[in-house]
Each structure stands twice: as C-alpha cells, then as structure tokens.
C-alpha cells in the first residue's frame, strides 16, 4: 500500500481513552519522540480527577493533546488533526475538537452495544450523531489486533489489553512519520530491570501497530513534519512542575543555602514535592507535612534557621496558609510559596487549569500584608520564574508568591538546557557585624533597599526574638500607634522597592498605538499565537506579558499610556484587569475572560483582539 | 567554654504575666535548668531556640535571652519541627498552652510526637483559655463552668499524657508549677532525651481558673495525692512513705505497705525505659482521688529521631548519587543535541 506523504508545517494530535487506557503515557511518548526528532512542541494533559471513574463513561475520559511543528509552536493547539478515541466515551467527549479535515482513529472493538450505551449515544452511528461522519474515519479493531499480536506470548488477557495503547502509538507513529527508536528504548528502560518479560510484547505490539497502519488502505496520507530550525545545543523535555522544582534547586545553589520544602500533597502541585524529594544529593530536605498549615510553618521554621524555604500548593491549600503568610511578612523572613492554580472556588475542578487565584495571592491575608507576586508563563519558564522568586525572597527578606497553573505544571515543552554559570549569584543580607552597643536589631533596615539583616540561630551574640506581634526596629514589642504606622509603611515600601531590581516590561510590537494586548502567566503562548494571526491579517497590535505582577515593572504606566486601549486577557473574570485599573486609573482597560477550567483557544483570542481593534 | 548561669538566659524584657501565675515558676525552672544542661552537654547559648504559639505561656520566648520565635496559634510545633530539621545542631525548646497545643494545634502536636522530632515541648496545662479571658479548653474537667460553658461543659477532656503515649511518644513527664526542683529535674531529663520530649506542667491561672490543681498541689496534702516517679526506684508515696503502687490483675492498685499482707517487695519499680507503654499509660492516666497523680519522668525510651533520619538520608543519597550540582541535574536523563 503506497501512501501519499504530505509535508505539514504543524499537526495536533489528541489521544483520548478511558483513564485506565494509558493515554497520558501514549501522548508523552509521542511528544518525546517528536522532540528528539527536532520538532517544536507543546503538550496539554487533560484528565479527570477520578483515578478510575466508571469504565467507559464520559466522566472517565482522559486526554493528552500534543502539538508538533517546524516553527512557532507556542500552544498545544485548539483543534486536532488526528483524534485517537479508544472507546465511544472518548469520541463523545472529544469529537468537538476535530478540525474539518481531521482523521479520527477509533478502536472499533470498543464500539459495541454496551460501550455505546454507557457513553450515552442514542443511535448506532456515533459519527453521524456527533456530526463528524465526513471526517477521515479509521475504524481499526485495536483490541483484537493486540490480542492477535500477543496470542503466543502466554500473557493473561488483562496484561494483553494493557498493551493496546502501544498498538495505537505505533499507528500514530506511522501516520506522522515518526521513528520508533525512542519508544523501543523507553520500553527497554522502563521494564528492563523489574519486568523483563514485558519488554518484548510491548515492543512487538508497537511494531505491529506501525505495520498495520502501513498496510491499511484507510490511512489516506501520512504527514511529514520537518524538524524545527532550533538554536544549537543540548535539549530536554521539561514539565512546568519539574522546572519549578529545578529552578528552586538552582536558586539554593546560587545562594549557597540548603533547600527545604514543607508541603502537603494537592493536585496539581504535588509533582513539585515529588521531584524535590528525589534530589537529596543536592542537599534538599523535603517534608511531607501533616497539613497545608504545617507545610508552610515548617518552611517558616526552616527559613528562620537559615534555609531557602519553600512550600508548594494549589488554591485551596493557599487559603489554609493565609495566616502563616502573614507571620512570614511580619517576621520578614524569606519564603517561596508556589501556587499551581486550578479551577475553584473550593475544591472546584481540581485537574483543570485557571488563573483565578490572583486576588488571593495579592490580597488574601489579614492586615496590611504585601507579598511580591511572580508568575511563570510557560512550562520551561517555570525554571526562571522559580529562580527569580527565590532571589527576590532571599535578597529582599520577604515571602514571595510564585503563581503557576495546572496547564503549565502538567504541560511540557522542549528546553534548551541552560548553564548555571549564566545565572547570577544570590546574596542574602546576612548579619555579620554587631552594632557598637552589642545588641542586634532585627528590623533595622538597609537605607537603600529597606531590607533588614538576616541573623541565624547559632550565631553568637545575635540572639533576638521574632514573632507575629508588632515590634520596633530593635525587635521590642510595641503597640504604639506611630510605631505601627512606621512599620506598616516600611514593610510596604520594602516590597515596592523590588521594582528597582526586576526587568522592565517589554512590548512586542510598536511602543504606541491603538491596542495593547496584555497577559500574565500561562496564557502567553496562546496570546502570542493570536497576535501573530492578527498581524498576518495586516493589522497592527502590540503585546506585553507580565512575569512580575507585584510590584509591576517600573515602566508599566508609561507602556500602558502609549495605547488608546488595553485588552487584558486572562483565565478568570478580570482580576488582573481590575488590579491594573486600580494602579493606572487613566488607562482604558477592556477585558477578555474565560473561566471554564480550560486554556484559551487561539481563535477566541483572535476574535477578541479583532473586536477590540474595530 | 565559660559556664552559663541563670542570668545569661534572662532577657531584658519585663515579665508581664499576672502576679501569682504559675508560668513564672516554669520560666524560672527553665532558666535554671538550661545552664546545667549546657554544662553537661557542652552547649553554647546561641544554640538554643525557644519557640511558642499563642496564649499566655507563649510569651515565654520574650523572657529568654536566646533566639526566640513567637509564632501563631497552634503552629509552634510545626515551626519547631522546621527549625530542627533544617538545622539539627540547634536545640529547640517550645512553650505552648493546653488550647494552643491540644485544640487548634492538636494535629501538629500528635504528628511531631509520631515522627519523634528532637524538640522539647513544655505544655502549660492550666485547663483554661487565659489570654482570651476564661473559656474552657480541651483539658477542662467535664462539667467545668466557664464563660463559654455557663451550664458546664458536656465534653470529655484530653489527658495530655495518654495523647502523647497514644501517638507513640518516646518521652513524657509531668510536674507542678509549685514544685520548682522537680520541674528542673524533668527539664534536664527532657534535654538529655533524643527525640520528642513532652513535659506537662500543671499550672495555676490565678484569674480565670484559680485552684484548678489545688486538690493535688497544696503542700498540706501534695505528698499523699501525687507520686514522684524516678527510673529504678520503688513507686512509693505519701507523707510517711507508706503507700505504694502494685499490679492488680491488668491494672494498678494503691496499697499501704505493711497492711493487707503487702510489703515493700510487692511495690512496683519504675522502669521509664521500658518500650512497652502499657504501665506508662496507666501511670499517666492516674487521677486523684482513686490514685495519686504521677509526676516526674513517666516514659523515656530510645528511638530513631526524624531529624536524624532526614539528615542520614541526605548523606546516604549524596554518597550514591551521581548528581552533585544543578548542571549535573540539568543534563541527567533523556537529552538530545540539535546541531
């Protein structure tokens, strides 16, 4: 069977199946294969909160979308070129994401009467019912072909069925002209030591899937996606949560401090604690605390004792940490608090992404309690954002909030590996000399930065007391009105001063004009794609993305002042827009918002930008 | 190292507890115990960190001329744990009240004990919320009439000792505010213990719960209503040293030596180091008037500490890993070259 090979600039593949079908693994193996092949890529795991929801139901569908291309891949893609649906429920949940000319690959064995009924189909033609009957539908009996492939393996039926995803992956690799080497090696490494008997069957099924697709008339074309023209160097794939953990370790190394992480497991932040727990050889101490409050309080204790201290969480956990955040502000101790945001309020939709914790990060505490807020804008950027958050915390003696998002934490992208020699040293303001009267004054400030000195327990002669009660510069308790006013003002000014130490806001496009599009956090790739599309239509639009939210970069007012209108795009009901309005009341701020637990679609942003340009 | 004295641990801050409050005596005992501890363990003063939560007793760090951290309600135990794990060289003392440690901070309290973090917890138990002016606490007696229980509480109190032992605590001791020498003795033993040491101090709140412990602490009958336990010594008590504890079936029984056929030989010898906590639990649970209230070190057993465990794991993994700097980490695992 000869297939026509089509050169494609980029393609989007969505793997969907039951949460036990191994779609996350299939998707990430396909992504890694493409990364090593040299493509640009972006991934988006979209999975349910239930580990194993009722089999075959729509609520149990787990998806993994991967976008590969030769250039400008900045998002996981809105709609897909290939949808893999391992059962009727996966088709039901995902058919709406198919492009007009998409291929749909289904396991026809799963489309029996029971499967159809469980997923809520009312007719016996699922494709017609979902109005996708005109797409290229490849109905392959994947379950029975996998059984056939392994009939001589002696494996039990349950184990055989677990190999179905490799058959699917083999087919996808054929369709998109991917070599199998990486996956074959992966299987060797994964099972080699503990389950050597699993290596050969999985490899066989993978190859059989590949060959089956090659012999199949139903596959009309195959696609070739040329490698991207990437900068020379060594690359790796990295998820946002991994990059966050690594950025924190990098900061500890540059500060010559031990890293301490006190955390409580919570979706989607848990992977940061899991990652940090591995690297004890870098001197990292992790504590899985008894609750969120103990997570931050052990971190505050460790900070007081002289560690780079971190606590990681998601929205509901951040709520629990609020009181202790105030303590860190009052004691002026360095601390990084990572919030990997998820859909709220309350438990909300734990596995879905959102940017709805911004107000909580900025304001969610009692009293006048300013905390710097930094946001990551892509999975790999989590490394730099975490490094920067830790640097600010340590050099300015303050807790710092690092906002990530489920979309960033679980998403991955190829990353040109940096060298630590290109990162600056971090210099905490350690107390080294006692004043002439021999008494250390814990809240006496550097006149330039307003930062107090850091004296560590164990330092002879620097014994002092800190705590949540208001104190004067000497560390003596005081409820005097003028002292409280002074300390409130100084703590706020200290944080505002950080603006002098962070980069200015960059504008992509003309510095003045009709419309400035503004974003922050994980919407970066989507907004960038939308901006490029709008520009291709010949329109002029500028873009500024905030990595530093509080304090805002020094030139923010000047940037906003250069435009007639400012369109703030964010995955909440307008929290950053409201914040900017408060800071810059003269700016004409309009909004583009979405609160569906899902990232923006590029198309939605293009529409919003075009409307703003009218 | 120059030897330290009582004065070295006294800060320049004015002590602001009510006159007659039991906390004064506990503070004095600590300021007396630490110089002795420093002497025997060769500890410098800068090595001490005193941590507290919120409540009257949590003011204690301000009165100690050591490193101090007055934190937030209930969380002292978590802060202490972080300090000790981050720097095990430090020696951490913690002051907390019955509301602070057992109500709002109950979770941290049992988990620090379960983990056996090497910290020394002084639990000031006055059976009342003092700082908020007189509400019942988790140790208030059943039926206690307070501002929030005007008709008497309808809830059972915690016995801190059984809570500690139930969480597999390795050290539990009890003393009274009025028995200064015993408190010093208990504190010294706690300092020498590797692991989580809990010292329950039965303190008097003169304003909101005056006389809560009077039935056992009054010198007129203290010796008849309490028993001071010391490892290796007979469980004998009473003004005339004529009462003792014996095993009776599955439980304990108070006998008079020389009466009913009981001799000194029948009286139990205290074994604080016994791993089995059965008898320790019975001793910690003893209540007047059926039994004397047990004072002194009730349990003091060896077990691996959490902070040592964390430190040893870091050492061990460092020895076997080939990742020793962040550049190693960045290039570990699957990478590829773009030419």
Q: pLDDT value at position A559?
A: 98
Q: How far apart are the first and last CA of chain A?
A: 52
Cβ distance of A280 and B338 shorter than 8 Å: no
CA B85, CA A299: separation in Å to the nearest integer? 10
The pLDDT value recorded for residue A194 is: 87
Task: Calculate the alpha carbon distances from A264 to A47, A65, A320, A492, B237 in Å.
Answer: 21, 29, 11, 30, 48
Q: Do B71 and A467 touch (CB under 8 A)?
A: yes
B312's CB contacts (< 8 A; 6+ apart) are none
Pairing of strands A335-341, A308-313: parallel
Nearest-neighbour CA in chain A from B109: distance (Å) = 10
Q: Closest approach of chain A CAs to the CA of B271, in angstroms? A: 32
CB-CB under 8 Å, B339 with A230: no
**Average pLDDT of span A170-175:** 95
Q: What is the mean pLDDT of residues A8-27?
A: 93
Residue B201, SS3 per DSSP: strand
- Cβ atoms of residues B305 and B118 within 8 Å: yes
Asked if residue A336 lies in contact with residue A325, where contact means CB atoms within 8 angstroms, the answer is: no
Q: Answer yes or no: do A294 and B334 touch at CB < 8 A.
A: no
The predicted structure's pLDDT at residue B2: 66
Residues A212 and A170: beta-carbon distance below 8 Å: yes
Q: Is the dihedral of CA A226, A229, A234, A235 positive or negative?
A: negative
Q: Which long-range contacts (CB under 8 A, 24 or more apart) does B142-149 make?
A: B146/B208
Mean pLDDT of B222-239: 98
Helix (H) or strand (E) holding A271: helix A270-278
CA atoms A218, A221, A225, A226: torsion sign: positive
State mean pLDDT over A232-254: 96
Report whether pLDDT(A458) > 70.
yes
A362-408: pLDDT as tens digits: 999 999 999 999 999 999 999 999 999 999 999 999 999 999 999 99
Full 3-state SS string of A297-365: HHHHHHHHCCCEEEEEECHHHHHHHHHHHHHHHHHCCCEEEEEEECECCCCCECCCCCCCCHHHHHHCC
List the single residue in A with minimal CA-CA distance to B310.
Answer: A285
Tell me the C-alpha distance between A289 and A340, whole Å.
18
Across the interface, whether the CB atoms of B46 and A417 are under 8 A apart is answered: no
| Interchain contact A413–B (C-beta under 8 A) | no
Within 8 A of B116 by CB-CB distance, chain A residues are none
Between the alpha carbon of residue A110 and those of residues A91, A113, A175, B209, the distances in Å are 11, 9, 22, 72
Please give the Cα distance from B169 to B158 (Å, whole number).
Answer: 16
List chain B residues with CB under 8 Å of A470.
Answer: none
Q: Could you report the predicted ipTM of this complex, rounded to two decimals?
A: 0.97
* Residue of B190, B155, B140 lying closest to B169 (CA atoms): B190
Q: What is the pLDDT of residue A252?
A: 98
Q: How far apart are CA A63 and CA A92, in angstroms?
A: 12
Q: Confirm if A468 and B99 have CB atoms less than 8 A apart.
A: no
A302 and B83: CB-CB below 8 Å? yes
Partner residue opposite A294 with nearest CB, options B11, B13, B108: B108
Query: Would you say residue B206 has pLDDT above 90?
Result: yes
Would you call A457 and B339 a contact, using CB atoms and an 8 Å cutoff?
no
- For the sheet with A308-313, list strands across it: A285-288, A259-263, A308-313, A335-341, A399-405, A373-375, A548-550
Helix (H) or strand (E) holding A187: helix A181-191
User: Residue B337: pLDDT above 90?
Assistant: no
* Residues contacting A404, CB < 8 A, separation 6+: A240, A241, A244, A269, A338, A339, A340, A341, A375, A376, A382, A385, A521, A522
**Residue A419 touches chain B, beta carbons under 8 Å:** yes
What is the C-alpha separation between B55 and B21, in angstroms, rounded?
A: 13
Q: Angle at the Cα of A521 (from A515 to A524), degrees rounded to 5? A: 55
DSSP E strand stretches across A10-161:
10-18, 40-46, 61-69, 80-85, 98-107, 136-140
CA distance readout (Å), A222 to A132, A133, A405, B99: 21, 21, 35, 70
Distance from CA of B164 to the nearest CA of A (A): 17
Check if the beta carbon of residue B202 is closer than 8 Å to that of residue B217. yes
Among all chains, which residue has been given the structure tokens 């009722």? Answer: A54
Three-state DSSP class for residue A102: strand
Tokens of A127: 């494709």
CB-based contact A291 B66, cutoff 8 Å: no
Q: How far is A223 from chain B (nearest CA, A)?
A: 22
Q: What is the mean pLDDT of residues A154-177?
A: 94
Distances (CA, A) of A242 to A28, A279, A343: 15, 12, 21
Q: Exposed (0-12), middle (13-18) or buried (19+): which is A114, by Cβ within 10 Å? A: exposed
Chain A interface disruption, residue of B60, B88, B108, B326, most A CBs within 10 A = B326
Could you tell me how many CB contacts below 8 A there are between chain A and chain B?
A: 200
- Interface contact A280, partner B, CB < 8 A: yes
Question: pLDDT tens digits for A334-352?
Answer: 999 999 999 999 999 999 9
Q: Is residue A64 a contact partner of residue A43, using CB atoms and an 8 Å limit?
A: yes
Cβ-based burial of A352 (10 A; exposed 0-12, middle 13-18, buried ≥19) = buried
Asked whether residue A191 carries a pLDDT value surpassing 90, the answer given is: no
What secondary structure does DSSP assign to B44-84, as a single string?
-GGGEEEEE-SSSGGGGGGGBSSEEEE--TT-HHHHHHHHH
Facing residues of A592 across strands?
A569
Q: What percent of chain A has pLDDT over 70?
A: 100
- pLDDT, tens digit, for every residue of A531-561? 999 999 999 999 999 999 999 999 999 999 9
Tell me the pLDDT tens digit for each residue of A250-283: 999 999 999 999 999 999 999 999 999 999 999 9
- A238 with A379: CB under 8 angstroms? yes
A315 vs A343: CA distance, rounded Å: 8
Helix spans in chain B (H): 23-41, 76-86, 98-99, 106-115, 160-166, 180-192, 214-217, 222-225, 278-285, 306-320, 326-330
In this complex, the residue of B44, B108, B329 whose CB is nearest that of residue A282 is B329
Residue B231 tokens read as: 């490892």
Helix/strand/coil for A168: helix
From the CB of residue B335, how many other CB atoms can be counted at a distance below 10 Å? 15
Start-to-end CA distance of chain B, whole Å, equals: 63
Crossing angle, helix A381-396 and helix A240-255, to 10 degrees?
40
User: H-helix or E-strand containing B302?
Assistant: none
| Residues of A with Cβ-Cβ distance to B314 under 8 angstroms | 280-281, 283-285
Distance CA A401, CA A389 (A): 7
From residue A468, how far is each of A476, B59, B69, B71 by CA, in Å? 12, 11, 9, 6
- Cα–Cα distance for residue pair A37/A610, rounded to 1 Å: 36
Q: What is the residue whose two structure tokens read 């050492």?
A: B315
Which is nearest to A326 in space by CA: A451, A467, A496, A456? A467
H-helix or E-strand containing A603?
helix A602-613
Interval A461-482 mean pLDDT: 96
Cis peptide preceding B319, ω within 30 of 0: no
Are A305 and B90 within 8 A, CB to CB? yes
Mean per-residue pLDDT for A116-121? 92
Chain B contacts of A323, Cβ < 8 Å? 72
Give me the mean pLDDT over the B187-193 stretch. 98
Does residue A218 register a pLDDT over 80? no
Min Cα distance B278 → chain A (Å) is 27
Q: In whole angstroms, give the CA distance from residue A233 to residue B337.
A: 6
pLDDT score of A19: 84
| B236 touching A (Cβ < 8 Å) | no
Confidence of residue A1 (pLDDT cuts 50, 70, 90): low
- For residue A561, count other CB atoms closer than 10 A to its CB: 14
Long-range contacts of the stretch A128-132 (C-beta < 8 A, 24+): A130/A91, A130/A92, A130/A95, A130/A96, A131/A95, A132/A95, A132/A98, A132/A102, A132/A104
């Amino acid at each position: 069977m000869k297939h026509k090979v089509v050169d494609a600039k980029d393609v989007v593949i969505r793997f969907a199946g039951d949460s036990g079908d191994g779609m996350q693994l299939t998707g990430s193996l396909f992504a890694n294969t493409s990364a090593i092949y040299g493509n640009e890529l972006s991934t988006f795991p979209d999975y349910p909160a239930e580990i194993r929801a009722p089999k075959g139901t729509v609520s149990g569908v787990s998806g993994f979308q991967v976008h590969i291309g030769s250039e400008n891949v900045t998002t996981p893609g809105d709609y897909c070129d290939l949808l893999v649906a391992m059962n009727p429920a996966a088709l039901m949940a995902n058919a709406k994401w198919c492009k007009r000319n998409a291929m749909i690959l289904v396991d026809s064995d799963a489309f029996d009467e029971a499967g159809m009924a469980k997923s809520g189909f009312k007719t016996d033609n699922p494709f017609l019912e979902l109005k996708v009957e005109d797409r290229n539908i490849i109905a392959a009996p994947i379950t029975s072909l996998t059984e056939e492939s392994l009939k001589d393996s002696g494996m039990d039926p349950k184990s055989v069925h677990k190999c179905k995803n490799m058959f699917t992956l083999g087919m996808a690799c054929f369709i998109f002209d991917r070599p199998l080497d990486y996956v074959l090696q992966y299987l060797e490494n994964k099972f080699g030591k503990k389950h050597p008997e699993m290596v050969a069957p999985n490899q066989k099924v993978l190859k059989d899937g590949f060959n089956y697709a090659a012999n199949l008339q139903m596959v009309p074309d195959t696609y070739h996606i040329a490698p991207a023209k990437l900068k020379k160097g060594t690359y790796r794939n990295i998820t946002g949560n991994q990059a966050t953990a690594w950025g924190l370790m990098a900061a500890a190394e540059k500060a010559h401090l031990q890293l301490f992480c006190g955390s409580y497991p919570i979706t989607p932040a848990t992977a940061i604690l899991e990652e940090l727990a591995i690297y004890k050889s870098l001197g990292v101490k992790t504590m899985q605390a008894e609750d969120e409050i103990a997570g931050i309080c052990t971190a505050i204790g460790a900070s007081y004792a002289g560690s780079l201290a971190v606590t990681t969480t998601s929205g509901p956990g951040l709520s629990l940490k609020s009181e202790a955040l105030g303590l860190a502000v009052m004691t002026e101790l360095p601390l990084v608090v990572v919030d990997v945001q998820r859909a709220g309020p309350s438990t909300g939709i734990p596995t879905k992404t959102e940017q709805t914790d911004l107000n909580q990060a900025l304001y969610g505490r009692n009293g006048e309690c300013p905390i710097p807020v930094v946001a990551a804008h892509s999975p790999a950027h989590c490394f730099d954002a975490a490094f920067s958050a830790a640097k600010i915390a340590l050099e300015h003696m303050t807790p710092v909030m690092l906002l990530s998002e489920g979309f960033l934490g679980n998403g991955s992208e190829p990353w040109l590996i940096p060298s630590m020699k290109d990162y600056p040293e971090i210099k905490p303001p350690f107390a080294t000399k006692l004043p002439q009267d021999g008494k250390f004054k814990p809240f006496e400030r550097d006149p330039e930065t307003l930062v107090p000195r850091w004296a560590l327990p164990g330092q002879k002669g620097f014994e002092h007391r800190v705590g949540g009660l208001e104190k004067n510069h000497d560390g003596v308790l005081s409820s005097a009105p003028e002292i409280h006013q002074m300390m409130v003002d100084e703590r706020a000014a200290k944080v505002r001063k950080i603006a002098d130490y962070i980069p200015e806001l960059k504008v992509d496009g003309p510095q003045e004009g009709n419309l400035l599009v503004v974003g922050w956090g994980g919407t970066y790739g989507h907004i960038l794609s939308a901006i490029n599309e709008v520009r291709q239509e010949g329109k002029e639009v500028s873009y500024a993305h905030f990595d530093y939210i509080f304090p805002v970069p020094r030139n923010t007012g000047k940037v906003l002042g250069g435009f007639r209108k400012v369109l703030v795009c964010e995955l909440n009901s307008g929290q950053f827009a409201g914040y900017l309005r408060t800071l810059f009341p003269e700016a004409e701020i309009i909004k583009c918002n979405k609160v569906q637990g899902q990232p923006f679609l590029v198309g939605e942003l293009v529409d919003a930008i075009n409307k703003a340009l009218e | 190292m120059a030897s330290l004295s009582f004065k070295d641990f006294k800060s320049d801050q004015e002590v602001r507890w009510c006159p007659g409050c039991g906390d004064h005596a506990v503070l004095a005992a600590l300021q007396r115990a630490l110089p002795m501890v420093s002497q025997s363990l060769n500890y410098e003063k800068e090595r001490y960190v005193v941590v507290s939560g919120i409540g009257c007793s949590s003011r204690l760090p301000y009165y100690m001329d050591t490193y101090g951290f007055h934190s937030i309600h209930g969380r002292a135990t978590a802060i202490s744990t972080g300090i000790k794990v981050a720097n095990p060289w430090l020696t951490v003392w913690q002051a907390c009240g019955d509301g602070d440690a057992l109500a709002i901070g109950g979770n941290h309290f049992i988990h620090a004990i379960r983990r056996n973090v090497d910290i020394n917890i002084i639990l000031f138990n006055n059976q009342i919320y003092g700082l908020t002016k007189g509400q019942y606490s988790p140790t208030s007696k059943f039926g206690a009439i307070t501002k929030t229980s005007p008709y008497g509480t309808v809830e059972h109190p915690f016995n801190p000792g059984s809570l500690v032992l139930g969480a597999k605590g390795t050290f539990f001791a009890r003393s009274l505010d009025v028995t200064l020498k015993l408190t010093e003795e208990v504190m010294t033993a706690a300092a020498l213990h590797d692991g989580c040491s809990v010292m329950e101090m039965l303190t008097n709140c003169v304003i909101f719960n005056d006389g809560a412990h009077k039935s056992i602490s009054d010198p007129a009958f203290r010796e008849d209503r309490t028993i001071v336990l010391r490892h290796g010594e007979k469980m004998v008590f009473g003004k005339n040293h004529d009462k003792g504890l014996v095993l009776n079936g599955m439980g304990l029984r108070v006998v008079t030596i020389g009466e009913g056929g009981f001799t000194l030989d029948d009286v139990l010898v205290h074994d604080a180091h016994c791993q089995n906590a059965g008898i320790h639990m019975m001793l910690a649970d003893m209540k007047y008037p059926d039994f004397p209230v047990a004072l002194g070190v009730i349990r003091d057993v060896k077990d691996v500490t959490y902070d040592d465990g964390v430190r040893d794991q870091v050492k061990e993994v460092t020895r076997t890993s080939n990742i020793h700097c962040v550049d190693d980490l960045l290039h570990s695992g699957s990478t590829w070259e773009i030419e």
